[in-house]
Amino acid sequence: MPLPISPDPDSGSKSSLPDDATARPGPLDAAEAAPGRAAAPAPPPARRFAIDWKIAGRVMIAGAAIGFACLAYAYLTLPDVRPLRAANPATTAFIELRAQDARSHGEPPRRVQKWARYRDISSELKRAVLVAEDDAFWQHEGVDFEQLQESLILDWARRGLLRGGSTITQQLAKNLYLSPSKNPIRKLRELIIARRLEAELPKARIFELYLNVIEWGDGVYGAEAAARTYFHTSAAELGAADAALLAGAIVNPRVLNPAHPNTRLLKRQQLILRRMGAVFPPEDAG
């Protein structure tokens, strides 16, 4: 609330303008003293419209430049995925992230992992994981645009990045090279790496890598380690029921324990079992 302006006790009803005609004029007096100088006219509507379009154009150009810079950064800093054709990764970004987190809490990093060849992983587990995580894996080229569009619509409705919508290839890209961050640049890198993986590797090799590096509990990585940790068997010997439990736990592996399933995991298991019969992955990594 503005403060009230008190009247000048010495002024009475007198004008605040100076009585002395020779006094130095103030801003108002100067304007009155030069009646010939008119105020600058406002620009016509057409000119104002043109000015607005110029500003909008500059904003668009700046936005495009920023977008191009982000795209260039994401592309130029991408990893080379070609060695994965024949060599298995020694570690992953997620494994290192978990190790760093453990050390920050004064704990030794835990890592249980044993590599299993594609043909040595139960076909039941392959079917279950495809049903749970990416039933269109054999049809898309790294990105399921229909699923991505649905995820974006749901995220917009919820005002946040809540739904994943990632394919198995995208999840592999994130596990190998990135982080769980929701940063848009990170997501862009994930999409580009996923397309690179699809361009350089056979589908079954991508699936083999995925099944060997994903997290299946605290310090448990890959199908072989998960099968031995939770069911005391090999990945090759997993039956449908155990495979469905493992696949159902991928969504939250640090909370859902396949050896001691809660109600949520049991419901996911039954849903996966009902859908597994329609999925037939190749038996050989080729």
Convert the pLDDT of each residue in 125-140 to its tens digit: 999 999 999 999 999 9
For residue 19, what pLDDT is reported?
A: 40
Convert the pLDDT of each residue in 82-99 to its tens digit: 999 999 999 999 999 999
Convert the pLDDT of each residue in 150-166 to its tens digit: 655 554 455 443 335 79
Q: How confident is the model at residue 57 (pLDDT cuts 50, 70, 90)?
A: confident
Convert the pLDDT of each residue in 184-223 to its tens digit: 888 899 999 999 999 999 999 999 999 999 999 999 999 9
> Structure tokens of 19?
């009585």
User: Where along the chain do its domains lie?
Assistant: 122-278
Q: What is the 3-state secondary structure (H, E, C) of 69-90?
A: HHHHHHHHCCCCCHHHHCCCCC
In percent, how much of the chain has pLDDT > 70? 70
Higher pLDDT, 141 or 236: 236
Q: Tell which residue, 284, 112, 91, 116, has the closest CA to residue 203.
A: 284
Q: How many CB atoms lie within 10 A of CB 40?
A: 6
Convert the pLDDT of each residue in 100-116 to its tens digit: 999 999 999 999 999 99
The CATH T-level fold of domain 122-278 is Penicillin binding protein transpeptidase fold (1.10.3810)
For residue 39, what pLDDT is reported?
A: 56
pTM metric for this prediction: 0.72
